[in-house]
Amino acid sequence: MHLSDLWFIAIAVLWAGYFVLEGFDFGVGILLPVLGRDNTERRIMVNTIGPVWDGNEVWLLTAGGATFAAFPAWYASMFSAFYLPLLIILFALIIRGVAFEYRGKRDSAGWRAGWDTAIFLGSLLPAILWGVAFGNVLRGIPLNAEHNFTGNFFTFLNPYALLGGLTTLALFTMHGALFLALKTTGDLRRRANRTATQVAAVAIVAGAGFLAWTGFSYRTGTTTGEGIASVVLAALAAAALITAAVANRVTREGVAFTANAVAIAAATASLFTALYPNVLPSTTSAAYSLTTANAASAAKTLMVMTVVACIFLPFVLLYQGWTYWVFRKRVTAPPQPSSVPSPRPTAGPGPTAPEPSPKVP
């Protein structure tokens, strides 16, 4: 195995980790106006992801940085071709992050409603556009001999890619509902559980259709080890997704959330395995496609990256794991003050009667 192949696997792992972790972030944001009936419930929903959402986005930054360093030609062609979709995603993520920070800065219902809308849109748009983007990466885009994009924005709006957007939207929404069922209590927990059951049907149908379409039409290998692995991973994703739906029906939130995380990771791995050895196919001519061989950096660059990753990656994983362990408990509503006033002591006979407090001038 060449170092370029190793870094292709590493980038696939980073994207899988990003979709698993940021997926429930997006799901909670999408469900904010659906499950949050009042400000208290919406505050609880935001608090479930408050300690971890910004750490989850580090996986995206790392995936982008690894792509830039390990496969600069892939990075250049993909980010220039997907400039407008990625700009929309970036703008949505910025607004979403600002909304988390500013939502509670003023005690105003209108102020909070505006930022709640920003959280919803900042979660909805990336949840759809990431699926559309990856659908186009699998399908291929028009590239010329210089690996420049020769299409336009409407090139991305093909049925396969749109199905990919519906799939990621359904998977992330279900993931967020399962996370809320795992992290909340009372009526909010029960409604999150019911919502996960409802969304599961859409996620199963859309996910199965997207993976099947990928396997039949856009899988690079058919009898190679990579092609067989892609089919096996797709079957694992489908089985895990069904397991998550069944576990959620019997209120086994931990099992359901874990199974759905496995489904998202396996589906992502299946897509990358189906893509290999290409990294960005060209629909103009197969000779213009970018692969792990012609898009990779020099061997010395990859070696230095490998050494640095081996040293620092364990610390990053340990820190993020510790963060999730610290904030592992369910989030509950703060105790509300009693609406019944406390009885005031009445004066009784004898010396036990309370003395009036002296007034201080």
What number is the average pLDDT over the span 305-312? Answer: 92
Cβ(23)–Cβ(264) below 8 Å: yes
Q: In this predicted model, what pLDDT tens digit does every residue of 259-291 receive, in sequence order?
A: 999 999 999 999 999 999 999 999 999 999 999
Q: Looking at this protein, which amino acid is placed at residue 259?
A: A
Where is 290: in which H helix or E strand? Answer: strand 290-291
Q: In this predicted model, what pLDDT tens digit does every residue of 78-135 receive, in sequence order?
A: 999 999 999 999 999 999 999 999 998 888 889 999 999 999 999 999 999 999 999 9
As a whole number of angstroms, the distance between CA 277 and CA 15 comes to: 17
In the chain, domain spans: 3-335
Cα–Cα nearest to 251, from 201, 185, 327: 185
User: Taking the alpha carbons of 306, 310, 315, 316 in that order, is the dihedral positive or negative?
Assistant: positive
3-state SS of 26-37 is HHHHHHHHHHCC
Confidence of residue 49 (pLDDT cuts 50, 70, 90): very high
As a whole number of angstroms, the distance between CA 184 and CA 314 comes to: 30
**Contacting residues for 47 by C-beta, under 8 A, at least 6 apart:** 331
Residue 153 is classified by DSSP as G
What number is the average pLDDT over the span 295-316? Answer: 92
Q: Which pLDDT does position 361 carry in this prediction?
A: 36
Residue whose entry in the numeric block shows the structure tokens 């195995």: 1
Total residue count of the chain as it appears in this document: 361
CA distances to 140, 186, 231, 275, 355 from 149, in Å? 11, 52, 30, 19, 87
Q: In this predicted model, what pLDDT tens digit does every residue of 60-94 receive, in sequence order?
A: 999 999 999 999 999 999 999 999 999 999 999 99
Question: Integer distance in angstroms from the first to the last C-alpha of the chain?
Answer: 86
Cβ(296)–Cβ(9) below 8 Å: no
Q: What is the dihedral of CA 38, 44, 45, 49, to 10 degrees?
A: 160
- Prediction pTM value: 0.88
Q: What is the dihedral of CA 233, 235, 240, 246, to 10 degrees?
A: 180
**Average pLDDT over the chain, rounded to an integer:** 89
For the domain made up of 3-335, the CATH class stated in words is mainly alpha
Query: With 80 as the cut, is the pLDDT of residue 239 above it?
Result: yes
Task: Write the DSSP assignment of 167-214 as a string of letters.
Answer: HHHHHHHHHHHHHHHHH--HHHHHHHHHHHHHHHHHHHHHHHHHHHHI
